[in-house]
Amino acid sequence: MVPYFSIVISVFNKEDFIYNTINSVINQTYSDFELIIVNDGSSDSSEDIIKSFSDSRIRYIHQENQGAGSTRNNGIKLAKSNLIALLDGDDVWLPNYLESIFNAIKAFPNEHIYTTAIAHNYPKKIVPVTYNFSIDGGVSIKNYLKESLKHTILTSSSIVFKKSVLETTGLFDTSIKSGQDTDLWIRIGMHYPIVFVNQVLVHYTYSDSSLSNSTFNLKAKPKFDKYYLEEEKNKDLKKFIDKNRFSLAILSRLTGDKKSFEFYRSHLNVTNLKLSQRLLIDCPSWLLKLLLKVKTLKGKKVYYRPLNETKSS
């Protein structure tokens, strides 16, 4: 019998988190699903923890390390259901996540993409994400490109989609080593509206990687060059990508990557930025670092990351 949902968890060295992740799925109030866990060559005890679960709905696959995009793609290809739910190996669903998505699908059966609000799970606190709109407990249709300017409304732990969507958008682009999420969400947003459940039902584990790690990943970030022609015709797409270009340009400046900074800056229309962002992007790097340090000391969140931050596999 075909399960209603196929859940795909990608795992790479998540021994500190994977038990809680799997447990959050097993304890869902809605139980008609299969759980496909793809271990991307973990070198820690992730496999032992995964194998400690004896639930018949679990299908476990171990592969040599291929990266997050390939891992998710491989899990998706194995799915029996037309409804795919993604979940990262360090995040958790609240118990009524699947039930809420199920109800949203029944309310909007002709749509293709479903998601919920999330909260960032920091080491000492859980903080609901601030979106362009208020979290009111309802269900509504959103335009991904317009509504993700403050924070993305799609993540790799909160999206559920019909498998047929991939015939239009394609799978995760494995040529992009970091930021595959952003790339796929753009393709989805160009073709499909998003059914958004206005409740926090996912806790997304957030870790601040150091600038040195970010430097390593920067060269692997999306260049967005495949969207140049579409940007000319779609102002929402142009504005969304420019927000990401701004984030990547600032990160380039902070890490001394002049070539990357010039690339992102040259393709960015500053009219799509706020005045404060326009000032930041063209100020000297020493002043930029000073301004960010002052804001951090005042307890203000300084935002220079891409709108969607892929978790590495």
CATH number of the domain residue 115 falls in: 3.90.550.10
- Residue 251, pLDDT score: 87
pTM for this one? 0.90
Question: Is the domain of 167 the same as that of 50?
Answer: yes
Question: Is residue 263 in a domain?
Answer: yes
Mean pLDDT of 20-24: 99
Structural domain of 187: 5-205
pLDDT over 70 at 171, yes or no: yes
Among 205, 230, 246, the domain boundary falls at 205
CA-CA distance, 109 to 106, in Å (whole number)? 5
Rounded average pLDDT over 58-76 = 97
Is there a single domain that holds both residue 107 and residue 58? yes
Same domain, 43 and 157: yes
- Asked whether residue 178 falls in the same domain as residue 220, the answer is no
State the total domains in the chain.
Answer: 2
Which residues pair with residue 266 across a beta bridge?
A: none
254 pLDDT band, cuts 50/70/90, is: confident
Read off φ and ψ for residue 145, nearest 5 degrees.
Answer: -65, -35
* Domain stop point among 158, 182, 205: 205
253 vs 203: which has the higher pLDDT: 203
User: Which of 205, 239, 271 marks a domain boundary?
Assistant: 205
308 in a structural domain: no
Range 75-97 average pLDDT:
98
Alpha-helix residue ranges (DSSP H) falling in the chain: 18-26, 46-51, 68-78, 97-107, 144-147, 166-169, 180-191, 211-218, 228-233, 235-254, 258-266, 275-282, 285-297
- Given a contact cutoff of 8 angstroms between Cβ atoms, the answer to whether 87 and 9 are in contact is yes
Kindly state whether residues 65 and 193 are assigned to the same domain. Answer: yes
225 and 272 belong to one structural domain: yes
Convert the pLDDT of each residue in 271-303 to its tens digit. 999 998 998 898 888 888 887 776 554 444 444
132 vs 32, more confident: 32
> Of 292 and 150, which is predicted with more confidence?
150
Please indicate, yes or no, whether residues 85 and 185 belong to a single structural domain of this protein. yes
**Within-domain flag for 191:** yes
| Within a domain: 270 | yes
For residues 244 and 101, membership in a common domain is answered with no
Mean pLDDT of 56-62: 98
